[in-house]
Amino acid sequence: MSTLPALDLNLIQLFVTIVEAGTLSEAALRQGVTRSHVSRNLQKLERAFGAQLIRRTTRRLELTHQGTVLYEHGARMAREVESARHALQKLGAEPTGHVRLSLPTGLGELDALRPLLVRFALEHPSLSLRVLFSNRVSDLISSEIDVALRVVSSPPQDYVARELGEVKWHLCAAPGYLQRAGTPLHPRDLGRLDFLCPPGPKNQATLRLHRKGQTYETKLAPRLQSEYFPFLAEAARNGAGVALLPAYIVQPDLQAKRLREVLPAYKAEGPGDKLFILTSPTPYPSTAQRALVDYLKTELEPLLRDFLA
C-alpha cells in the first residue's frame, strides 16, 4: 500500500496559481518570485506525488489527469483558506465572547461611569459583560477577572498594567464637626480628632502628609474603617470625624461645601496614588477583552481627569 506524501500547502497554493495564471512567468509575477523559483517548486511538487502534473508546450500549460485532480482539490482548499481569513477578520472587527470587569467600589458610584459601561454593552451586542465591584487586587486570577480598574501605588507584577492617571487624596470633615471639635492647624492636632479611613492593620493607621518637601507621619487609632469609600464619605458628612478619601469620591461634597478640606496646605498620602487598568498576561486576549480595555482608556481618561489630579 503506497503512502501519500505530506502536503506542503504553500506548494499546493503555488500550483493553483500556476494553473490559473496560465504560464510560469505570470504565476511568478503574481507570487512575487522568479520564474525559476516557480519551476523548481513545481518539479518538487511533482516529485512528491511521483507524477507529472502539467505538460509544458511552447504555447500553453496542459494539465494531466493527476494535475486536474490536484487543482480541483487545491482550488477548493484555497477558497476555504480565504473564507477562514474573512471570518477571522470579521471576528477581529466585531468583539465577541464574555468579558468580566472588576471596578473599585468608589469608582462604581460615579454617576458618569455606569452609563459608559451600559453604552459599551449596547455598542457590542455580540459580547456579554459582567461587572463586579471589589477593591482587592490579589483575587483577580482566582475570580477569573479579565479586566480590572484598581487604585494602587505600584501594580502587581503578575498583571499587565496601563496607567490612567494619578489619584489625589483629601482629609475632609463636615463643617459642623470642625466647629464642634476644633479645626486642626498641624498634623499633630489630628490625634485628638476622630479618624475615618480605609482599613489598616490591627486597628491602627499611619497617616503621612507632605508639605514643602517634608513628610509628617502621624499614628492614629481610627474610629471607623471601611474599604467602601461612599460609606466613609457619608459618615464624614454626618459629623463622625475627619475622613481620608480619594478626590473622585469627595470632590462633589467639597464643591457643595457639605465637607471641608482639613489641613489643605498639606498633601495627604492614601493607600494608592494611581489608577490602573489591570489585565492578566495572556498572549492572546479575546476580542471582547481588547475592546473593553481600549474603550476604558479612551473614555475614562477625559472623564476622570478632573478627579485624578
3 domain residue, yes or no:
no
Q: By C-alpha distance, which of 66, 125, 73 is closest to 95? A: 125
On whether both 157 and 84 belong to a single domain, the answer is no
Parallel, antiparallel, or unpaired: how do β-strands 224-225 and 195-197 relate? Answer: parallel
On whether both 217 and 243 belong to a single domain, the answer is yes
- Computed over every residue of the chain, the mean pLDDT equals 85
Instruction: Please tell me the predicted confidence (pLDDT) of residue 253.
Output: 94
Segment 114-164, tens digit of pLDDT: 888 999 999 988 888 999 887 776 666 667 788 999 888 888 777 888 988
Mean pLDDT is lowest, of 45-54, 181-190, 277-286, for: 277-286
pLDDT of 175 above 50? yes
On whether both 53 and 104 belong to a single domain, the answer is no
The string of DSSP codes covering 17-29 is: HHHHHSSHHHHHH
Segment 253-306, tens digit of pLDDT: 999 999 999 999 999 998 888 889 998 777 777 888 889 999 998 888 777 666
On whether both 84 and 110 belong to a single domain, the answer is no
On whether both 103 and 77 belong to a single domain, the answer is no
Instruction: Please tell me the predicted confidence (pLDDT) of residue 13.
Output: 87
On whether both 210 and 162 belong to a single domain, the answer is no
For residue 236, the domain's CATH number is 3.40.190.290
Instruction: Please tell me the predicted confidence (pLDDT) of residue 4.
Output: 47
Helix (H) or strand (E) holding 107: none
What the block records as the C-alpha cell of 300 is: 475614562
- Can you tell me the distance from the alpha carbon of 282 to that of 160, in angstroms, rounded to the nearest whole number? 9
Of 52 and 3, more confident: 52
For residue 31, the domain's CATH number is 1.10.10.10
Segment 193-204, tens digit of pLDDT: 999 998 877 677
Q: Final residue of a domain: which of 72, 89, 106? A: 89
4 domain residue, yes or no:
no
On whether both 137 and 68 belong to a single domain, the answer is no
Compute the 3-state secondary structure of the chain and give helix, strand, coil in percent, each to the nearest 5.
40, 25, 35
Percent of the chain residues topping a pLDDT of 90? 30
Q: Enter the DSSP assignment of 125.
A: T
309 domain residue, yes or no:
no
Instruction: Please tell me the predicted confidence (pLDDT) of residue 209.
Output: 94
138 domain residue, yes or no:
yes
54 domain residue, yes or no:
yes
Residue type, 97: G
Compute the average pLDDT of residues 14-43.
87
On whether both 24 and 51 belong to a single domain, the answer is yes
Instruction: Please tell me the predicted confidence (pLDDT) of residue 222.
Output: 92
Rg of the Cα trace of the chain? 33
- In 3-state terms, what secondary structure has residue 281? coil
* CB 223, CB 190: distance < 8 Å: no
Instruction: Please tell me the predicted confidence (pLDDT) of residue 178.
Output: 96
pLDDT of 191 above 80? yes
Instruction: Please tell me the predicted confidence (pLDDT) of residue 1.
Output: 40
134 domain residue, yes or no:
yes
Q: By C-alpha distance, which of 246, 251, 259 is closest to 173? A: 259
Instruction: Please tell me the predicted confidence (pLDDT) of residue 15.
Output: 87
Q: Final residue of a domain: which of 89, 120, 149? A: 89
* CB 271, CB 198: distance < 8 Å: yes
| Tally of structural domains, the chain | 3
* CB 197, CB 203: distance < 8 Å: no
Instruction: Please tell me the predicted confidence (pLDDT) of residue 55.
Output: 86
156 domain residue, yes or no:
yes
On whether both 260 and 223 belong to a single domain, the answer is yes
On whether both 199 and 261 belong to a single domain, the answer is yes
For residue 109, the domain's CATH number is 3.40.190.10
210 domain residue, yes or no:
yes
Compute the average pLDDT of residues 171-197.
94
User: What residue numbers bound the domain in which 180 lies?
Assistant: 169-269
On whether both 70 and 125 belong to a single domain, the answer is no
On whether both 186 and 265 belong to a single domain, the answer is yes
Mean pLDDT is lowest, of 47-51, 94-98, 209-213, 304-308, for: 304-308
Total-model pTM: 0.65
Instruction: Please tell me the predicted confidence (pLDDT) of residue 61.
Output: 82
pLDDT of 166 above 50? yes
